[in-house]
Amino acid sequence: MLYIIGLGLGDEKDITLKGLEAIKRCTKVYMEAYTSLLSFGLSSNGLSTLEELYGKPIIVSDREMVEEKADDMLLQAQSADVAFLVVGDPFGATTHTDLVVRAKKLGVDVKVVHNASVMNAIGVCGLQLYRYGETVSLPFFTDTWRPDSFYEKIKRNRTLGLHTLCLLDIRVKEPTLESLCRGKKVYEPPRFMTIKTAIEQLLEVEQNHGEAVYNEDTSCVGLARVGCEDQLIVAGPMKQLLTVDFGPPLHCLVIVGNTHPLEEEMLEFYAIAKGSAQA
């Protein structure tokens, strides 16, 4: 049996009782590392907090391992209980559908333990979840690669008056271009897109396209560390959010569509005029 277990968004205590019980049953525990470095303290304390809670060692699986070596894990799961831990929900922003498909093809039973992900926890800002359109991902621009297909999607959402959740790029364990050329991988330091960078890129793309989809006065909500003890939520026009220091990652951004009065009341609590607010 392969258990794919969501850890939630905040810290080690966001696991469910069901998830914890499953881990305790498993002979091997893998954890995907590439979005989980921060909240779960993997960079500083190693895995100690989690391993202490679970009472067993964790094998940290980076992106390469998950994508290339998953078959080893799946083979183990054919004859034993194996846990694969995922930050957020197993089918949240980072999907693990591919792993499930591979497991099913190998005849491995899969059990999913759900948890919160940014896709539903974003509701904390007060904008109703059913009033969101398609979610977009904003990738880091480079000198030569400035993809902007999100612009068309945001345009469609705004035409319909819907909110847009923008997921911001995460770059963990990216090999340097130089190291790839040399054939021995050396990794870039991790990078997490800030709300400031996201807005700058959004405004650049608006300037290039010029279709007046949004501008620096467009109402947005910036959210940092959703679900964590020190989460920060600030609502305001893009140009104001550019001036806010949202602190450590992860950040995400909502471009506000048409609002109901109740949604407006909630946004007022998070407005810059009143100072930044936590909830």
192 binds its own copies (CB under 8 A): no
Residue at 127: amino acid letter = L
Over 177-202, what HEC string results?
HHHHHHCCCCECCCEECCHHHHHHHH
- The C-alpha atoms of residue 158 and residue 14 are separated, in whole angstroms, by 34
110 binds its own copies (CB under 8 A): yes
47 marked as part of a ligand binding site: no
Which lies closer to its own copies via its Cβ, residue 75 or residue 279?
279
With contacts defined by CB under 8 A, name the span among 59-67, 93-101, 177-185, 190-198 that binds its own copies: 93-101
226 marked as part of a ligand binding site: yes
With contacts defined by CB under 8 A, name the span among 27-35, 89-97, 189-197, 236-244 that binds its own copies: 89-97
63 binds its own copies (CB under 8 A): no
User: Residue 249 in contact with residue 207, Cβ under 8 Å?
Assistant: no
User: Residue 266 in contact with residue 125, Cβ under 8 Å?
Assistant: yes
- The C-alpha atoms of residue 247 and residue 20 are separated, in whole angstroms, by 30
- The C-alpha atoms of residue 225 and residue 230 are separated, in whole angstroms, by 7
User: Residue 55 in contact with residue 87, Cβ under 8 Å?
Assistant: no
147 binds its own copies (CB under 8 A): no
Which lies closer to its own copies via its Cβ, residue 21 or residue 245?
21
Q: Write out the residues near its own copies by the rule CB under 8 A.
A: 6, 8-18, 20-21, 89-93, 95, 97-98, 100-101, 104, 110-112, 114-117, 119-124, 126, 128-137, 156, 160, 162, 167, 227, 262-263, 265-266, 269, 279
